[in-house]
Amino acid sequence: MAKRRKIKVLVLMGGPSAEHEVSLNTGKNIIHALDPKKYLVRPVLITKKSKWLIAPSYQTPLLYSQRKLAVKNLVPLAENPLPNRVFDSPVAFIAMHGKYGEDGTIQGMLETMGIPYTGSGILASALGMDKPRSLSLFRDNGFNVPDYRVFNQQEKIINPFQCPLVVKPSNHGSSIGVSIVRHKRDFKNALVEAFRHSNHIILQKFIKGRELTCGVLENKNGEAFALLPTEIIPRVGNFYDYRSKYDEGGSEHVVPPHGFSQKTISMVQNTALYAHKIIGCSDMSRSDFILGSDNKLYILEINTIPGMTQTSLLPEAAKAAGINFPKLLDLLIARALRKQ
């Protein structure tokens, strides 16, 4: 029997967004988990200043794990051009979060080069990153959405909500620039922090309740299915902020949430599936919710490239469904090749 040819994978990580470090952790975690019997890997690291660095050649993931992906082992892309799919046949695993990596930019570049890639396409990526537009779509399709207003830096901002309220950038992830304003004296500082990361910000009514998330995957035929929802219990912050997400022990993840009936679990799953469909996501997504004290399920946002670090939610939920991390990566790569 002929030996099966290994699949060449470009792992794209980093980028100029505020989520650069998170993206590096995601990329490294992916490389370490790829099966060396199935894949050859070539890391592509985009620096904070948008300089592209690439490994000199494809290697087994095991070798990169031993080298710890030292930047000194990578060379500028101009000296070693990104291969054309016609001659090299790679698939790109996008491990980039935030602007440039998750907003349709990198997806458009890969499509012009004919390189298949993991995750959602250009439009779905752009919609998922643009919170005001995705929230508008969700509201128009019958979702419960916390009341919100959008402002830019040139407008006079009058707070339409009582404290507490949420202030956040309109196009960032990882809770960067997000504040829960509990006292009027903190409102101005919250605005300054949000505007540091975006030209448009969202003021949103605070919903008291249980913080949930629910991942969606697609099988090899493109049929979407929801994973069990996860309840997020922050341990180092007052909400699921950056430290709660990425510090060791920063939060507790409960899959499925304690005390949930099957009816409630199905409600969360069906809403996540519908959100995935409305935005037009591919391969995977993860929607964030609040189950309010009024027992209504409020959608907060959708993530088209969920984190893949050791503390990330989607891999944990997949594992609870019997899909370990290497199998999850196999599924996403298979979907990318199938879409091609």
Q: Which residues are annotated as a binding site for Mg(2+)?
A: 288, 301, 303
Quote the CA–CA distance of 79 and 256 in Å, as a whole number: 49
Catalytic annotation, pick one of 134, 174, 175, 287: 174
The binding site comprises 288, 301, 303
| Cα–Cα nearest to 308, from 92, 14, 27 | 27
Q: Phi and psi (nearest 5°) for 135?
A: -65, -40
Contact 275, 299 (CB under 8 A): yes
Give residue for tokens 């099957």: 262
What contacts 226, CB < 8 A, 6 or more positions away? 214, 215, 216, 268, 269, 270, 272, 273
Contact 294, 207 (CB under 8 A): no
Alpha-helical (H) ranges within the chain are 20-33, 61-67, 85-88, 105-113, 122-129, 131-140, 187-195, 242-246, 262-279, 313-320, 325-339
Please say if 312 is a catalytic residue.
yes
Buried b (16+ CB within 10 A) or exposed e, 304-323: bbbbbbebbbbbbbbeeeeb
Give residue for tokens 């998750």: 102
Q: CA dist 200 to 50, 52, 161, 238, Å?
A: 23, 28, 18, 24
Quote the CA–CA distance of 52 and 73 in Å, as a whole number: 13
Query: Could you give the angle at the alpha carbon of 304 between the alpha carbons of 300 and 308, nearest 5°?
Result: 105
- Please tell me whether residue 315 adopts helix, strand or coil conformation: helix
- Please tell me whether residue 105 adopts helix, strand or coil conformation: helix
Q: Which residues are catalytic?
A: 19, 174, 312
